[in-house]
């Protein structure tokens, strides 16, 4: 219909690549990523928790705009930013895992793994399997780096689980504060964030201080 606002088409990606705090910051700061959630997936236990994971893995669950970033680009970040477990078998909680959401993504992931193996000259133990169900982790795990700044969380009213999981701003700030974005990227994206002068200066300080320090858990 004329004048109708076109609905944004989003896609979903789910990865396990070690401790989920680091990859939450990494993907949250990535242009084209709209929302991030950390949690548990890939196993069979109903209602897992951090203290009772069963056979699940810590994962990052992502909503992204495919017109801005493609699935292969997300996979490139996945391959290049593992904390551990890409070539060494470790416990299932931190294993390397790709959970695909459609056949196109399955094929892309499998082909990408083959290409990475040839490039690295060693086998990758990344498991690629169908996504079944995602269980969000406890609130204190969500946007962990952002929640370490309670003043900013209060100022921006991002206190509830729904706000932390559903907000693009929360995802970006979690990455910015951890040093997952350059100063140039932050300044370029700043007009779209809706921050006032006080919160802008607060975030900018940490972007400058933490840029290039590397992600960690």
More confident call, 12 vs 159: 12
In the chain, CATH 3.30.1060.10 sits at: 8-137
Verify whether residue 19 is a known catalytic residue. yes
Q: Which of 13, 17, 18, 19 is catalytic?
A: 19
19-28, 122-131, 179-188, 206-215 — which is least confidently predicted? 206-215
- For residue 126, what are its two tokens? 């990344």
8-137: CATH topology is 3.30.1060
- Tell me the mean pLDDT in the region 140-159: 96
């Amino acid at each position: 219909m004329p004048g109708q606002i076109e609905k944004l088409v989003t896609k979903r990606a789910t990865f396990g690549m070690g401790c989920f705090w680091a990859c939450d910051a990494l993907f949250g700061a990535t242009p084209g990523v709209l929302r991030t959630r950390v949690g548990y997936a890939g196993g069979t236990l109903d209602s897992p928790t951090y203290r009772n994971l069963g056979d699940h893995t810590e994962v990052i669950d992502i909503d992204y705009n495919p017109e801005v970033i493609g699935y292969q680009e997300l996979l490139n970040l996945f391959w290049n930013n593992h904390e551990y477990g890409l070539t060494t078998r470790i416990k299932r909680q931190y294993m390397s895992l790709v959970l695909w959401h459609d056949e196109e993504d399955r094929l892309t992931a499998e082909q990408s793994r083959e290409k990475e193996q040839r490039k690295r000259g060693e086998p990758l133990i990344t498991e690629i399997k169908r996504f079944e169900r995602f269980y969000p982790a406890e609130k204190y795990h969500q946007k962990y780096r952002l929640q370490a700044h309670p003043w900013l969380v209060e100022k921006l009213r991002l206190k509830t689980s729904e706000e932390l999981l559903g907000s693009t701003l929360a995802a970006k700030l979690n990455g910015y504060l951890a040093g997952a974005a350059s100063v140039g990227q932050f300044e370029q994206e700043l007009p779209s964030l809706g921050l006032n002068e006080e919160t802008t200066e607060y975030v900018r300080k940490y972007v400058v201080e933490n840029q290039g320090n590397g992600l960690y858990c």
